[in-house]
């Protein structure tokens, strides 16, 4: 690992760092306990949009990862805060049914939405849906994406992520999406405010060289890359991002804190 001064606070990615699918990464539980024991201000940041915050907390419990719901900042929760702050209440939610629960209280309106919120819907994407969203955008709806990741890691291999659809819609409708998850600085800032620490005192740990590491660096934090999850040496080398530190796995977290 490259030596850097110990950060005062940490932001940590979940998927690919603490688990892949239903497999806990060895040492993940000890790393979580280490943060708790040393009282390091920390928050888990996730772009996962396939689960509501409550379901995410349930999954972590089921995996035996002692992470409380209050320590998680998810992209859907950040998007909800944004919609409320902007007074946008009529929305098209391109989200799994379960994740729509994070938006309870807003009005679903597919014909005349004020905003379209895009998250992960797996293989439910098709031409009709893309075209309907395209028309909403041309009619003036704001485009909000919970992230714009290019791909993610499943047990079977890499899979195309929503970034491709978001960019296609931006291009066709001549608009620009607001990104609510990593690597958007608004998202990181929400997390930093909750830690009460300035960006320079905080490091972000993740398996995504662009979204986690590059994103954190662009917003003034240090970026730490773990060699698990979606990490691939050849993809990391091509990304044009130099991590401030690298860890083989989250089990080596103590190296970062000492
Ligand atoms: Mg990840």
Condensed to tens digits (0 to 9), the pLDDT of residues 168-195 reads 999 999 999 999 889 899 899 889 988 9
Q: For residue 159, give its domain range.
A: 76-179
| Cα dihedral across residues 204, 205, 211, 217: positive or negative | positive
Same domain, 166 and 104: yes
Q: Measured in angstroms, how far is the CA atom of residue 20 from the centroid of ligand 1?
A: 9
Same domain, 174 and 81: yes
Same domain, 83 and 35: no
Q: Measured in angstroms, how far is the CA atom of residue 63 from the centroid of ligand 1?
A: 16
Q: Measured in angstroms, how far is the CA atom of residue 214 from the centroid of ligand 1?
A: 13
Q: Measured in angstroms, how far is the CA atom of residue 187 from the centroid of ligand 1?
A: 15
| Cα dihedral across residues 207, 208, 210, 214: positive or negative | negative
The answer to whether residue 3 scores a pLDDT higher than 80 is no
Q: Which of 141, 130, 120, 128 is nearest to 48 (CA)?
A: 120
Same domain, 174 and 85: yes
Give buried/exposed letters for 142-175 (b at 16+ CB in 10 A, else e): bbbbbbbbbebbeeeeeeebbbebbeebbeebeb
Query: 95: Cβ–Cβ under 8 A, 6 or more apart, which residues?
Result: 49, 76, 103, 117, 118, 119, 120, 121, 146
pLDDT value, residue 193: 87
Q: Measured in angstroms, how far is the CA atom of residue 206 from the centroid of ligand 1?
A: 6
Same domain, 175 and 208: no
Q: Measured in angstroms, how far is the CA atom of residue 22 from the centroid of ligand 1?
A: 14
Q: Measured in angstroms, how far is the CA atom of residue 231 from the centroid of ligand 1?
A: 9
Over residues 140-162, the mean pLDDT reads: 90
pLDDT value, residue 54: 85
pTM over 0.85: no
Last residue of a domain, one of 126, 148, 179: 179
Are 200 and 8 a contacting pair, CB within 8 Å? no
- Using 50, 70 and 90 to split pLDDT, how confident is the model at 69? confident
pLDDT value, residue 93: 98
Q: Measured in angstroms, how far is the CA atom of residue 92 from the centroid of ligand 1?
A: 27
Over residues 97-117, the mean pLDDT reads: 95
126 part of a folded domain? yes
pLDDT value, residue 181: 87
SS3 at position 39: coil
62 part of a folded domain? no
Q: Measured in angstroms, how far is the CA atom of residue 125 from the centroid of ligand 1?
A: 22
Number of domains in the chain: 2
**CATH number of 212's domain:** 3.40.50.1000
The answer to whether residue 2 scores a pLDDT higher than 70 is no
Q: Measured in angstroms, how far is the CA atom of residue 202 from the centroid of ligand 1?
A: 18
């Amino acid at each position: 690992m490259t030596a850097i001064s110990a950060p005062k606070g940490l932001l940590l990615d979940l998927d690919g760092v603490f688990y892949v699918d239903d497999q806990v990464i060895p040492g993940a539980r000890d790393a979580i306990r280490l943060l708790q024991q040393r009282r390091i201000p920390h928050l888990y940041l996730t772009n996962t949009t396939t689960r509501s915050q409550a379901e995410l907390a349930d999954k972590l419990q089921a995996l035996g990862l002692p992470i409380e719901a209050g320590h998680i900042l998810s992209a859907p929760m950040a998007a909800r805060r944004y919609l409320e702050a902007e007074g946008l209440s009529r929305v098209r939610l391109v989200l799994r049914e379960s994740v729509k629960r994070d938006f309870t209280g807003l009005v679903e309106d597919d014909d005349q939405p004020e905003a379209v919120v895009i998250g992960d819907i797996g293989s439910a994407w098709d031409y009709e849906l893309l075209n309907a969203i395209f028309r909403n955008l041309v009619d003036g709806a704001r485009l909000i994406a919970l992230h714009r990741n290019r791909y993610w890691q499943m047990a079977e291999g890499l899979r195309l992520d929503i970034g491709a659809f978001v960019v296609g819609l931006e291009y066709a409708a001549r608009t620009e999406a607001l990104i609510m998850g990593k690597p958007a600085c608004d998202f990181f800032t929400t997390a930093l405010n909750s830690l009460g620490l300035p960006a320079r005192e905080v490091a972000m740990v993740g398996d995504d060289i662009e979204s986690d590491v590059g994103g954190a660096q662009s917003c003034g934090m240090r970026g730490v890359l773990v060699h698990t999850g979606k990490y691939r040496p050849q993809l990391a080398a091509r990304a044009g991002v130099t991590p401030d530190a690298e860890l083989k796995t989250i089990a080596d977290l103590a190296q970062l804190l000492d």
